[in-house]
Amino acid sequence: MKKVVAFKILLVLALTVVTTGCKKSSSSKNTSRATGWQINSREGGFQYNTNFREQETAPGLVFIEGGTFTKGRVQDDVMHDWNNSPTQQHVQSFYMDETEVTNAMYMEYLDWIKRVYPPSEENFRAIYHGALPDTLVWRNRLGFNEVMTENYLRHPGYGEYPVVGVSWIQAVEFANWRSDRVNEYNLERAGYLKRDAKVTDVNSESTFNTDTYINAPTLTYGGNEEVINGDGRSRRNVQTDADGNETGIYATRETGLISPKYRLPTETEWEYAALGLSELRSYNLYRGRKKYPWDGQYTRNGSRKYRGDQLANFKQGKGDYGGIAGWSDDGADITNAVKSYAPNDFGLYDMAGNVAEWVADVYRPIVDDEFNDFNYYRGNVYTKNAINEDGTVKVVTIDDIKYDTLPNGKVIARDLPGEIVQVPIDENETYLRTNFDRSNEINFRDGDKRSSRYYESFNDEDVDGEKKNSDTRKMYNSPKHTITRDEDGNIVREYDKDNNRTSLINDEVRVYKGGSWKDREYWLDPAQRRYFPQDMATDYIGFRCAMSRVGSKSKVKNKTKN
């Protein structure tokens, strides 16, 4: 009997030790639950940020918690566009600029380009000129607007006004530049880059690019691993601890310090954010009840304190861009300073009125929710890093800069020095995949061979190699203007006057959302959608940036059950 009791006691003790050991092992952040090895140890353990809590909100952004909503029209389609039928969509959590990108923000971008790629040098002149907004958009054949043409972009009186005259292509380039500058600053604060290297050590041959730093950090800043400090001493771009000991040469994604990129929001993200749905996310509750970014069916404030004030900057009627001066005035006749009107429930300003805004999507009349209802986006073009023969990534140098001439005659740089050259993906990435099968998926199920009524002869060719009127068979056969240069370098513009052209839609037109200072009340509805060529600009389209969220859906930390 005593032996049995003793055995039971020993068994309980053994189980207690084992259980305690298991709990200790599984609960330790620096002990692998896969192998039991130590993480982040000095003895060569796997280096990983086990203390990461959540993504830090990047400069200028506010958090948008994702969810389900009804994308598309909830009011009468008085324009008969038939391009925004209601669909149920789900959006992942993301971040978005609380205001439009302002003139002051864009001028910072231009100043950086001017310092790094001086337009006085012939090789760089097109880089700066390609980034300049088109200030001539303010001109009107029968209007006197020269004061805006000359002052709107640069005068401090308009510094906090939304930038306009920016094409979709330029907006994308600004977002890319902004991503690099923010990550460069984050790595400097963490000690991975020399303090103020972003200013003192940057030139056309020595720049910071996020993708290059991740894939080939030794090529960042033109391959400068050692930087000369002001005191003449050399210091490597390394991270050090409080005692001055090297703790790591380069940051990786595992550190959690490298932020996701700034980008244009997708159309679905923009519409979801504009509506500011804090509670009404049910399909039935939402239909017909949310017409604007604010509550209610009217454009004037209904609260006692601000009763009658306009809630947005828009055209109130023919020849009426601001109302009668005084009580009825909306505060602006052209654009207005950001934050001049109350934000929506997400904390976003001017999601209706002031300026319309570029979004990432290529325009199509129909949203294909039957194929996808999660993070919907049309415009995917998948690329990969170009690889040299020795297996390293191919980074652009000042001798490798290539320029593209857009259909409107504007010249832009395809890649900037320090960036990794991108090439289309091939069958090494697509073979036997079911989720994508080619590099360019813009026309998937709409405008490509599989969606044409002339499926069997979509791109048939004659014996001599000439296509059989393929342009008349395609779903979107928009005009194709060409621009070339003669042997003397002069630009030759040719306009497409073919009578067979039946559409203005092609793969180079992008969606823009929201009403502007030039639009009537109808266009303030976030569901409305229009399109414009991606290489052209206007005096009423601006933009704001977005950023994807990594990790949890909500900022509220979920409590794990014991």
How far apart CA 355 and CA 342 sit, in angstroms, is: 15
| Closest residue by Cα to residue 512 from 497, 495, 534 | 534
Q: Is the pLDDT of residue 485 over 50?
A: yes
pLDDT > 70 fraction of the chain, expressed in percent and rounded: 80
Looking at the DSSP bridge assignments, the partners of residue 542 are 357
Burial class from Cβ neighbours inside 10 Å (0-12, 13-18, 19+) for residue 218 reads middle
Cα–Cα distance for residue pair 208/448, rounded to 1 Å: 39
Q: What is the Cα–Cα distance from 459 to 544, expressed in whole angstroms?
A: 39
Output the average pLDDT for the chain: 83
427: exposed, middle or buried (C-beta count within 10 Å: 0-12, 13-18, 19+)? exposed
410-444 per-position pLDDT tens digit? 888 888 999 999 999 999 999 999 999 999 999 99
Lowest mean pLDDT of 73-77, 332-336, 372-376, 451-455, name the range.
451-455
- pLDDT average, residue stretch 364-373: 91
What count of other Cβ atoms lies within 10 Å of the Cβ of residue 229?
A: 13
User: For residues 218 and 427, which has the higher predicted lDDT (pLDDT)?
Assistant: 427
Of the candidates 552, 546, 40, the residue with the CA atom closest to the CA atom of residue 255: 40
Provide the pLDDT for residue 19. Answer: 42
Q: Rounded to an integer, what distance in angstroms lies between the CA atom of residue 452 and that of residue 469?
A: 14
Least confidently predicted of 345-349, 445-449, 557-561:
557-561
Higher pLDDT, 291 or 179: 179
Q: Is there a contact between 214 and 222 (Cβ–Cβ < 8 Å)?
A: no
Q: What is the DSSP string of 485-531?
A: E-TTS-EEEE----TT---S--TTEEEEES--TTS-GGGGSTT-EEE
Band of residue 268 on the pLDDT scale cut at 50, 70, 90? very high
Residue with tokens 């890093």: 385
The three-point CA angle 89-90-92 to 5° equals: 145
CA atoms within 13 A on the CB side of 48: 10
Side chain identity, residue 429 = E
- Torsion over CA of 390, 395, 401 and 404, rounded to 10 degrees? 100
Amino acid at 133: P
Amino acid identity at 69: F
Lowest mean pLDDT among 180-189, 386-395, 474-483: 474-483
Cβ-proximal residues to 280 (8 Å cutoff; 6+ apart), any chain: 286, 289, 290
The DSSP-derived string for 113-178 is HHHHS-TTSTTTHHHHHHHS--GGGG-BTTB--HHHHHHTTT-GGGTTSBP-S--HHHHHHHHHHH
Using CA atoms, how far apart are residues 407 and 494, in angstroms rounded to an integer?
A: 10
Q: Are 78 and 527 in contact (CB under 8 A)?
A: no
Which domains occur in the chain, in start order? Answer: 61-442+507-548 (3.90.1580.10)
Burial of 212 (0-12, 13-18, 19+ CB in 10 A): buried
As a dihedral over the C-alpha atoms of residue 38, residue 41, residue 42, residue 47, rounded to 10 degrees, the angle is 110
Other C-beta atoms lying within 10 Å of the C-beta of residue 282: 12
d(CA 136, CA 138): 5
Q: Does the pLDDT of residue 333 top 60, yes or no?
A: yes
Q: Which amino acid is at 171?
A: A
* Distance, CA of 441 to CA of 242 (rounded, Å): 50
Q: Which of 480, 481, 483 is nearest to 492 (CA)?
A: 483
Under the banding of pLDDT at 50, 70 and 90, the label for residue 103 is very high
- Residue 474 above 80 pLDDT? no
Confidence of residue 55 (pLDDT cuts 50, 70, 90): very high
pLDDT attached to residue 261: 97
d(CA 151, CA 157): 9
Per-residue DSSP letter, 260: P
Return the pLDDT at 32.
87
What pLDDT digit, counting tens, does each position of 155-184 carry?
999 999 999 999 999 999 999 999 999 999
